[in-house]
Amino acid sequence: MNAPIILSHTGRLLLTAALLLTASTSSLATATAPEGSANSPRYEKGMQVLRDLNNGQPQPVFEAMRREFPFLAESTASYALGDVWGREVLDPKTRQLAAMAAFASLGLRGFFKTHAGYALNLGATPDELKEIAYLVTVPAGFPRAIEASQALQELFNERGLTSPQGRQP
């Protein structure tokens, strides 16, 4: 006959926690895809938003993230793109202009330039994008606005866009 095992209060708590963890882990393996996973409606909506923003073309930064950081890419597609960018309160062009102002104010040049490109894809004019750089001088200061203007110059050059010289803001 085996002697009974007597566990202390802490031992019982640890054993209970281990059993619960084992049970929850095994149930996760058989569960359906979570709401933010690559085959969820939120993810699909986010991917459609990205295709719409990028004229149906793959977005290289997102594709690289999807290869190297799949969880981050799925979360970005599901939440940022699907839940937030996919809202219909603002029209897509206005949403991009607002995003540009936020990214410029934070000094996030890469994000600013990407979203400026999306704004152009959605019909914004170079003058509208320049206006965002001017606007940023108030909440974020001249250095951030100058950084934004440099990113816009790069984008305009890449797309072969020019504006009349000497035009006042």
Q: Which superfamily, per CATH, for 90-162?
A: AhpD-like (1.20.1290.10)
> Can you give the pLDDT at residue 162?
77
CA distances from 42 to 19, 23, 80 (A): 33, 28, 10
d(CA 50, CA 41): 14
39 versus 95: the higher-pLDDT residue is 95
Question: Per-domain residue ranges for the chain?
Answer: 35-88, 90-162
- Amino acid at site 60: P
Distance CA 133, CA 123 (A): 18
Please give the residue that has the higher pLDDT: either 167 or 87. 87
Q: Which tokens hold the place of 153?
A: 């110059």
What is the share, in percent, of the chain residues with pLDDT greater than 90? Answer: 72
Residue among 135, 154, 153 nearest 145 (CA): 135
Q: What's the predicted TM-score (pTM) here?
A: 0.73
Per-residue confidence band for 36, with pLDDT thresholds at 50, 70 and 90: low
Q: What is the pLDDT of residue 39?
A: 77
Q: Is 34:40 a contact under the CB 8 Å cutoff? A: yes
pLDDT at 19 exceeding the cut of 60:
no
Higher pLDDT, 166 or 63: 63
- Model confidence pLDDT, tens digit, residues 89-146: 999 999 999 999 999 999 999 999 999 999 999 999 999 999 999 999 999 999 999 9
Asked if 163 and 127 count as a contact pair (C-beta separation under 8 A), the reply is yes
